Structures are given as C-alpha cells and as structure tokens.
Amino acid sequence: MTREVQPRSATRLDSYVDRYAARTKGMTASEIRALFAVASRPEVVSLAGGMPNISGLPLDVVGGAIYDLVRTNGPAAMQYGSGQGDPTLRDQICDVMRLEGIDAHPDDVVVTVGSQQAVDLVTRIFCDPGDVVICEAPSYVGALGVFRAYQADVVHAEMDEHGLVPDALRQAIAAVRASGRRIKFLYTIPNYHNPAGVSMAPQRRAEVLEICREADILILEDNPYGLLGFDDEPHRALRADEAEGVIYLGSFSKTFAPGFRVGWALAPHAVREKLVLAQESATLCPPSFSQMAVSSYLANHDWQGQVKQFREMYRERRDAMISALEDLMPAGARWNVPDGGFYVWLTLPHGLDAKAMLPRAVTARVAYVPGTAFFADGFGAQSMRLSYCYPTPERIREGVRRLVGVIEEELELRETFGTIAGEPHGSVERGYESPNTDLS
C-alpha cells in the first residue's frame, strides 16, 4: 500500500456548496428520516407510509392489457405525446370526475405525472418567493414541500371534525392581507384529508367557496381520495359548484395504481394554457405508455368495481385500527374516525411529543409520522398520523398495541421529568420533514 501523507486540505465534501439555490436551504439530513429507514423492515409495523394497498388488483388483467397495448399500439405508446396529455384519457378523466358532480370538457384537463406534479405546476405558475399559500392545519406534507421549494410562505388555517373552519379561513386571509402579502391560493383536501382524516361538511363547502369568491382567492382542490369513501356516494367536489375559481386535482394512484404516475389538473381555460406550457418545460409530455395503460384499464375493466373492492378493504382496516385504538389507547389520547381514505389523526395525551417519541417507537418496531411533518410552522408536536391502508388488520392491531406500550413508557418518562410537548417558541425555522416518499 502507498503511504505518502497528502498535503493538508479543507473540504466540505460538496464542491457545489456555495452554488445551490437559496430554496435548497433546509434540504438536509434529519434524524427523523434516518429513523424511517428502519420502518421498511418487515419486523416493523409501519403505520407511517401512505402507500395504496394494491394487492387486490387483477394483475393478470392489467398484464394482458399492457401486452395488448404494446402489441396493437406499441409505437404510439413508446413515443412522445401531447404536452396536455392523451386525448382519450382526458375524455375518460371527465367521466371519472362526473362521479363527483363535475361537468368538465377534456380540453380543460392537463394530464400530469401524478397529482403531485400538478401541485408543482400550479405552484410554479402562480407563486413568486414570499407569496402566501393558505393551507389547512395540518396539511399534506408533499404539498408543503412543493410550496417550500418555490419559496412560498404557508399560512395555516384551523380544521375541525368538519374540515376547514370558515372563520379560521377568514382570519387567515385578513391577517395575511393586513401584513401586505399576496395570497395566491387556498390549498385544500376536502375529502378524507391527508393527514387529518376528515372531510369538509357540505355546508362548509358552500361557505368556503363563498369566502374565496368574495376575497377573490383561487382554490386548489386536491382530491386523491375522493372515490374512497366508506359510507355514502362520493362527496360533491368544490369544482362542481365553481368552475372559474377552482383548480381541481385528481389522481389514479389510489383508484388504480401509483406506479403509473398518472394524475391530472382541471383548470380554467387561461390557467390550463399556462399549465400545458409549464408541463412541456418540465417533462415535454406526461408518459404516453402510462397514460395509454390507464386508459386501457378504464376502458376494458370494471374499474369502479375494483374501487369498491378497495373501499371495502380499506374500511376493514379502518375498523381494525379504530377498534384497536378504542380497546388499547390510554386516557387522554384522541382520534378521529375517518369515513374514507387512509388516515387517522391521533392526538397524544397532554405533554407528549410524537417526534421526540419516535426513536422509542422504532425500538418497539412500530412507525408513524409525527404531526410536525404536516405543518410548515413547527406545530403539531402532540399529534401523529396513523395510516391503516397497507398492513393487515392483525398487523394494525399489533402496531397499535406496540404504540400504546411506547406511549405508556413516554408518559412515565414525562411524569418523571415534567416536560411538556412544545409547540414552537419564539422564532421557528420554517421547514418540513418529509420522512419518506410514500406519503402521498
């Protein structure tokens, strides 16, 4: 081996460190992300990730459709396509949206790489640094990441069991405007909210629309879970009652499969034009192959029957989680009973901090997402998101059992030291901690 000591050098192990855009501030390693590396192991009951459970998909049917697609239409499927998206699929998307009361024209639909990209494109065309996006408190971690990337400021408005609180929205609008800042849109997930698990009540929908109409604020309605309700017909979309003031986002990730990465935006005409241009600069076009595969699935398979099966499976898992929580959780813990979607929002007994507790949970082989991930302002420490979509009912119960053990140990520790879960004090670094990529 050569052993010639090299001259002294100083390094930051990143030769580009002085060249990154300001928006990368906060893109750092974090303890929370590190802990989630363990959650992927089978020994851990992960109540953290939001991966759709697609084990019930008829893979033979999907495989056959893809085979036929390649055989009959391969050259087109593997070629560039329209920046706005495949016309046949856009037509089918309008049929899907009709289930939620939306009457739309395919010309106003832009296909995107999952609805996540639609959030990105909308933010890209609307937000300058320092502009304000109003979000529910809590809000979807993936959207908060997009807003942060475009250096938009997030102002949260309170939710309750009926969704976004209209008075809180009014107050947020007034406060932002009094501070001289511009509100670019309200970002809302009206149905089976991620992470809060609640849906906006019908009367609230009308009121929120009215508030935004009066204040001239655009609504970004993100609706990936809308067809996954357990009890009733799908809720009526905000976009169904307001065409000009709402951009609606949809996705096939939960109703079909996330691997195709097909979502869409339905936007007023002028906005749609800009979205297409933004889409073309981002990706040239959404993937033709995925779009045509989804289109074939919708055309040739009883996709609504499949969604019904998904709903039944998720309902069974929801029931397992709620039953386990009711049986096992200590006094002082509170949670909602979702009527659709993937998530339960659990608030811990007073004094506990879900983020501080996570290492203990990982040791106990159970994972969740601490509430702080869903706030842009450091709040949410006493809460966590529990996901029931993926594990079996038996594993869900086991996960809750482990979690209860962790909470009891933490209660004992907090009793000893008397510390209280902190909401942020003083100046708080704006940020989010996306623990993983499977949170959509």
Partner 1 sequence: MDALNGRIVVLAGGLSHERDVSLRSGRRVAEALRDAGAEVDERDVDASLLPALRDDPPMCVLPLLHGETGEDGALREVLELLGVPYVGSEPAACRAAFDKPVAKAVVARAGLHTPPSVALPHETFRELGAAAVMDAIIAAVGLPLIVKPAKSGSALGFTVVRETDALPGAMVGAFAYGDTALVEKFVEGAEVAVPVLDTGDGPTALPAVSIEPDGGVYDYTARYTAGSTEFVVPAKLSDELAAECARVAVTAHQALGLRDISRSDLIIDAEGTVWFLEVNVAPGLTETSTVPLSVQAAGLELGELMTDLVRTAVGRSSR
The alpha carbon dihedral of 219, 303, 68, 87 has a sign of negative
Sign of CA dihedral 52, 57, 60, 61: negative
What does the DSSP assignment read for 98-139? HTTT----GGGEEEEEHHHHHHHHHHHHH--TT-EEEEEES-
Cβ proximity to partner 1: between 56 and 422 the closer is 422
Minimum gap (Å) between residue 368 Cβ and partner 1: 14
Nearer to partner 1, 55 or 416 (CB): 416
Q: Work out the number of other CB atoms within 10 angstroms of the CB of residue 15.
A: 8
Region label for 159, one of left (φ > 0), alpha (ψ between -120 and 50) or beta (otherwise): beta
Shortest Cβ 277–partner 1 spacing (Å): 34
DSSP state at residue 255: T
Taking the complex as a whole, the smallest distance from the CB of residue 404 to partner 1 amounts, in Å, to: 17
The minimum distance between CB 436 and partner 1, in angstroms, equals: 11
Write the DSSP string, 296-332: HHHHHS-HHHHHHHHHHHHHHHHHHHHHHHHHHPPTT
- What minimum distance in Å lies between the beta carbon of 319 and partner 1? 30
Cβ atoms 268, 109 nearer than 8 A? no
Least Cβ distance, residue 424 to partner 1 (angstroms): 13
Q: Which is nearer to partner 1, 2 or 55 (CB)?
A: 2
Smallest distance from partner 1 to CB 304, Å: 40
Helix 31-39 crosses helix 354-363 at what angle (to 10 degrees)? 40
Q: Are 195 and 343 contacting, i.e. CB atoms less than 8 angstroms apart?
A: yes
* DSSP β-ladder status, 246-251 and 219-222: parallel
> Interface with partner 1 by CB under 8 A: which residues?
1-6, 8-14, 16-17, 20, 28-31, 33-35, 37-38, 41, 43-44, 356-360, 362-363, 365, 410, 412-414, 416-419, 422
Q: Which two tokens stand for residue 288?
A: 């033709």
The CB-of-27 to partner 1 minimum distance in angstroms stands at 8
What is the C-alpha separation between 122 and 267, in angstroms, rounded?
10
Q: Which residue type does 196 have?
A: A
Q: How far is the CB of 432 from partner 1 (least distance, A)?
A: 14
To the nearest whole angstrom, how small is the minimum distance from the Cβ of residue 412 to partner 1? 7
Closest to 386 measured CA to CA, from 307, 422, 333: 333
Helices 114-126 and 269-283, interaxial angle, to 10°? 110
Nearest residue (CB) to partner 1, 268 versus 351: 351
Distance of alpha carbon 334 from alpha carbon 345, whole angstroms: 8
Query: HEC states along 409-431?
Result: HHHHHHHHHCCCCCCCCCCCCCC
Smaller CB distance to partner 1: residue 272 or 365? 365
